[in-house]
Every structure is written in C-alpha cells, then in structure tokens.
Amino acid sequence: MLAQSGYRDPNAPTTLPFWVYVVVTLGCLIIAVVFSVYVSRFRGRQDAAQTAAEAAGFTYYDSDARGVGRLKFREFSGADSIGISHLMTGISPKGTNVTVFDYTRETEIQTSSEPTSRIGMIGGLAATNGAGMHSGKSKIASGATRSGAIVEVLAYFPRLVISPQGAVRRTVNNITGNDIKFESDHFNRAYQVTSEDRGFAHLFITPDIIDLLLRSDGEIGLETMGDSILVFTDLIDGKRLPSLGLFACRLAEQISQLAVNEYPPPNLVEPGVARRPFL
C-alpha cells in the first residue's frame, strides 16, 4: 500500500540513473588515458635527454640541482615559480661551463579539502584551519614548457634582452620605438633588443653575435644578468638539449673583450671606482 501511494523510505539507498554511471566511468577512463600519455611522454623525454647528456659528456640531474628556478631573469618573470626539469651540466671544448634545462612558468593555487583521517591529523600529515579543513598550495603550469641554457662569464653585465619577434610584435615595436636598432636589417626584423644601457647593448651585440643568432633562424633569444647569460627557445627535442648548451657556450666565447673589460665583475673593480648600478 505504501509503495503504491508513492511513499519512499528516507533511509533507503539512493539509486542514480544508469547514464550517470556511464558518464563517470568514461570520465575516469579519459583521465587515466591522458595521465598515461603524459607519463609516457615525460619518461620518453627523460630517457632521450639522459642518453644525450651521457653521449655529450654532460651530467644529468633529476631535479633543479643548481637552483636555476630561483634566478631573477626577466624571462622567468610573470609566474609564482619556475619549474625546472631535465637539467644537465657540461663543459665546452674551450672550457666554458653550461647548465641546460627545460623550464615551465608555474602558478600557485590555494587548495582545501576535508580531513582524510584522524591518524593523518595526529601524525601531522596535514594541517587544518579552524573549520577543520586542510589547506595548502599546489602548482599548475601557466605557460608552455621551454628549453634554456645558462653560462657564466667573467664579467658583470647590465640587463639586456634579445627576444625573437614576429610580424605583429615587430610592427608594435616600430611604432613605440622601444627597440634598439642595429646595422643589420635582417637582425632588426628577427629580434627585439631592449636594455637600460644602450652603450652596453652595442658593445655586446657585435657582428659575430648577430651572425650566430641569425643562424638559429631567429628561434633563440638571450638575456644577460650580472655574470650569467640565459639562452632560451621553444621546447626542443630532448636529444638536442646538449646542442643548445654548446650553442650557449659558443655565444659566450664570441663576446668581445671590450665588453668584458668595460663591465668587470665586482671583485675586480679597483677600490674607489664607481660601479654602474645593476639594472
């Protein structure tokens, strides 16, 4: 009688429609496939990079052993943190030290969830706020992964950024006039050059540097900061990471001695001689 009258026991288990189970199952399968592909690609790149490093005589690291992600390059700006992967170090035939890596801009997001167990709370595995919720931060990629290399020089350079540019960016730079121009029209079209020390820009960017960058088909940029030079480009094949490092070494070895002499490291500056402020 109760069933016929439409009465439903409030303690009876709720049965979801069949299509809900289908959707949830498919969703779980899709997530599993995507995760599997991601792991496979990461491991494949890791294996390729590690093999290439060993063949080139480089040392491969599973983590940011050199603290690259903490450096204050402008290329690394606009993110809460920089994720570093596939890092390797090596030395060029002329003795220049280089660090090569992939990097990803990361954004931190606040997360919260219900406590998973009393044991976890007692063991200190998770902190809780006053409402009994776990709180913390997680990181998500906020930009495409790129490849880079850093070399150190016996100098202390002002900030200089040489960035590849397309037609739209080139048009904007021509209108705003923020770009530093050079005698090579090809170079001016391919790159945007910015620096707060224009004199240094012209000392650093010699015909040899221009020729080397143009041979990369305008795909590689660089940034100077103190005694470090960052070379950066879009993500390259893991097998080519050592080649990017050797390219950075060749670039550092092409720097004119005049630029090095004009901007010596702080420990070589004579007492009482004014230093240019770091830009």
pLDDT by residue (tens digit) across 62-79? 889 999 999 999 999 988
Decide: helix, strand or coil at residue 13. coil
Per the structure, the count of domains in the chain is 1
In a domain, residue 211? The reply is: yes
In a domain, residue 3? The reply is: no
225 is in which domain, residue-wise? 11-105+142-279
**Residue 20: pLDDT band by 50, 70, 90 thresholds?**
low
Contacts 24+ apart (CB under 8 A), 46-53: 46/86, 46/238, 47/238, 48/237, 48/238, 48/239, 49/86, 49/88, 49/238, 49/239, 49/241, 51/239, 52/238, 52/239, 52/240, 52/241, 52/242, 53/88, 53/90, 53/241, 53/242
- DSSP class of residue 275 equals P
Residue 178 in this model has a pLDDT that exceeds 80: no
CA distance 105 to 144: 8
The pLDDT of residue 252 is 96
Phi and psi (nearest 5°) for 84? -115, 135
In a domain, residue 236? The reply is: yes
Give Cα 144 to chain centroid, integer Å.
8
The pLDDT of residue 253 is 95
DSSP 198-210: HHHHHHH--HHHH
Q: What are 65's two structure tokens?
A: 């052993």
The pLDDT of residue 274 is 40
The pLDDT of residue 7 is 52
Residue with more model confidence, 218 or 238: 238
The pLDDT of residue 278 is 36
In a domain, residue 130? The reply is: no
In a domain, residue 125? The reply is: no
Percent of the chain whose pLDDT exceeds 70:
67
User: pLDDT tens digits, residue range 2-12?
Assistant: 455 555 555 65
CA distance 86 to 100: 8
Question: What is the average pLDDT value for the chain, to the nearest integer?
Answer: 80
In a domain, residue 112? The reply is: no
DSSP 51-96: HHHHHHT-EEESS-TT-GGGS--GGG-SSSEEEEEEEEEEE-TT--
Q: What is the mean pLDDT of residues 57-65?
A: 93
The pLDDT of residue 35 is 46
The pLDDT of residue 238 is 95
Termini Cα distance of the chain: 85
Residue 163 in this model has a pLDDT that exceeds 50: yes
27-36, 71-80, 83-92, 147-156: least confidently modelled range: 27-36
User: pLDDT tens digits, residue range 115-133?
Assistant: 544 333 333 333 444 445 4
CA distance 55 to 161: 32
The pLDDT of residue 260 is 95
**Residue 135: pLDDT band by 50, 70, 90 thresholds?**
low
In a domain, residue 127? The reply is: no
36-40, 195-199, 221-225, 258-262: least confidently modelled range: 36-40
State the Rg of the chain over Cα: 27
How buried is residue 101: exposed, middle or buried, by Cβ count under 10 Å (0-12/13-18/19+)? buried
Phi and psi (nearest 5°) for 183? -70, -25
In a domain, residue 128? The reply is: no
CA distance 48 to 86: 10
